Structure 1
């Protein structure tokens, strides 16, 4: 092979590599997004929360201005026992759509659970050291329990788990 041909082939290969590197990731298609959402829903309803969370994370990344994608991601975080990440996802949904009622509801439920846990810890830590604080904290835990059980008559409400949309 001549030096000229070798230089030309090398230049062509470099040009092709540069073109591949600069093309960036492909944009998601409607069909791809729909398939990802359906997979996430199957994983969530099929008892595969880790896979559902991964799919909902991809969905929120592909649709960063879609409040429902962030709402579903928040629900997935709740199922995985990651309340701080769920709060962040619900707040992102609310930045996009300030009147997203279910995101507000789930955020409120999570905040109540966090408050109850904090007051419970306060009551335990104040035991023997500060009887007034222990009593106040215990009363607040009881009050939150009554408040949350009033919404369904038996137990603290779970965040809405509808991933397919906003239905109850």
Structure 2
């Protein structure tokens, strides 16, 4: 066999080695990203549990940017927004939850509870526009009582 043929065969034999090395580097890079992602999720969770809602919100926002299909951060963001009185934002987060996982009850339950909070807030706000002894105030009180009555059935 001539030296050119041997050289060519040696080069062909090295191709699988280079592919293995290249794939190993790619796997290491991927696992590095996975480790970073996991650390971000854990940091967000720790912040949330510690009541550091502003920090947790920022961390969960980053998580949703990296993995928009990941359910938990949307749920946590919704909970943060409920706790901070941002009910419209909470509704958007819980709606996203129901879109991502329509078979998951937490998104639906939290969405409905948030809508109820909104309903009560509307009735409470409306009370400020009517004198306490007016017919309008009575209608609003009855609406509020009716809503609550239906909830406790």
TM superposition score normalised by structure 1: 0.64
Change (3 A) 1:63 1:118: same
Question: Relative CO higher for 1 or 2, CA cutoff 8 Å, sep ≥ 6?
Answer: 1
1:91 to 95, 110, 116: 95
Change (3 A) 1:33 1:143: farther
**Larger relative helix fraction:** 2
Partners of 1:120 and 1:30 in 2: CA distance: 47
Partners of 1:127 and 1:87 in 2: CA distance: 31
Length, aligned pairs only: 124
Residue 35 of structure 2 corresponds to residue 31 of structure 1:
yes
Q: CA deviation at 1:147?
A: 4.9
1:70 to 62, 71, 74: 74
Give CA deviations for 1:72-114 in whole Å, capped at 9, x if unaligned.
2211222332211111111111111112211111111111111
Q: CA deviation at 1:70?
A: 1.3
TM superposition score normalised by structure 2: 0.70
Which protein shows a greater Rg? 2
Change (3 A) 1:35 1:147: farther
Partners of 1:136 and 1:143 in 2: CA distance: 10
Tell me which residue corresponds to 1:136. 139
* Contiguous gaps of at least 5 residues in structure 1: 1-25, 152-168
Tell me which residue corresponds to 1:55. 59
